[in-house]
Amino acid sequence: LFCKTSRAPPPLDPDEPRNTAYAVGQWGLGYIVLTSVDRDDLPDGGSSHFAETVREIKRQNSEILVECLVPDFRGNRESIATIANCGLDVFAHNIETVERLTPFVRDRRAGYRQTLKVLETAKEVNPELVTKSSIMLGLGETDEQVEQTMKDLRSAGVDCVTLGQYMQPTKRHLKVFEYVTPAKFQQWESRGAQLGFLYTASGPLVRSSYRAGEFFITSLLKDRKAKTN
């Protein structure tokens, strides 16, 4: 469930932060989600390049809200802090599945506990950040395991969670174990509210970057800004 990339990725483009910021400005967007492939070949995992892109976007328009869906940076606290303190508004890192299924679903380098630690560290470094994660259902998880995953995310300080249906993109990928019912998704949305998440989006077509979630986060951040002014 990781983006397939070349085994020898090219060097970073020093103009990418500025070019990305220019493109975002031309699109006239109010909310942008930035993501990247893993760059474990780089000493900082690409965190400084990622952070500079955020700063360039904010320099061009400080009103744009920026969400970063980041890799785990191998759990490196300094790299996580670089992102958490770069001026972004939402720090997102997806746990993807329950702990029992993690070794079968995710890349072997991505550990369940490390994902929780990444999210927890971002919140420790910058408590004002909105943190976010996502769970895919239909891979063979039990209700008890989903509930535990949601509790683990809350314990890590995660504010927003999305739950969606796993779909098999190609025959080479994991098969769908189960198509979760809309009623079950609704139960998880209600449970998320009970557990204290600021926002829970749960439905078959919900994905990590979900438009309704962006509207909610935009409203939340505007309210926070108004209270501090």
Q: What is the pLDDT of residues 25-73, one digit of tens each?
A: 999 989 999 998 777 777 778 899 999 999 999 999 999 999 999 999 9
Residue 210 has a pLDDT of 67
Q: Cβ atoms within 10 A of the Cβ of 223, count?
A: 10
SS3 content of the chain, % helix, strand, coil (to 5): 45, 15, 40
The answer to whether 73 and 44 are in contact (CB under 8 A) is: yes
Domain harbouring 88, CATH code: 3.20.20.70
Q: Is residue 10 part of a domain?
A: no
**Alpha helical stretches, state H, 47-181:** 47-60, 77-84, 102-105, 112-125, 143-155
Residue 207 has a pLDDT of 81
Instruction: Provide the domain limits for residue 158.
Output: 16-228
Copy the structure tokens of residue 202: 């749960």
Report the half-sphere exposure of 140 (CA within 13 A, side-chain side): 10
Q: Is residue 9 part of a domain?
A: no
Determine how β-strand 31-35 pairs with β-strand 65-69: parallel
Q: Is residue 37 part of a domain?
A: yes
The answer to whether 49 and 17 are in contact (CB under 8 A) is: yes
Q: Is residue 212 part of a domain?
A: yes
Q: Is residue 5 part of a domain?
A: no
Q: What is the C-alpha end-to-end distance of the chain, expressed in Å?
A: 42
Q: Tell me how many domains the chain contains.
A: 1
Q: Is residue 11 part of a domain?
A: no
Residue 119 has a pLDDT of 98
Could you say which residues of the chain have pLDDT below 50? Answer: 1-4
Q: Is residue 2 part of a domain?
A: no
Q: Is residue 140 part of a domain?
A: yes
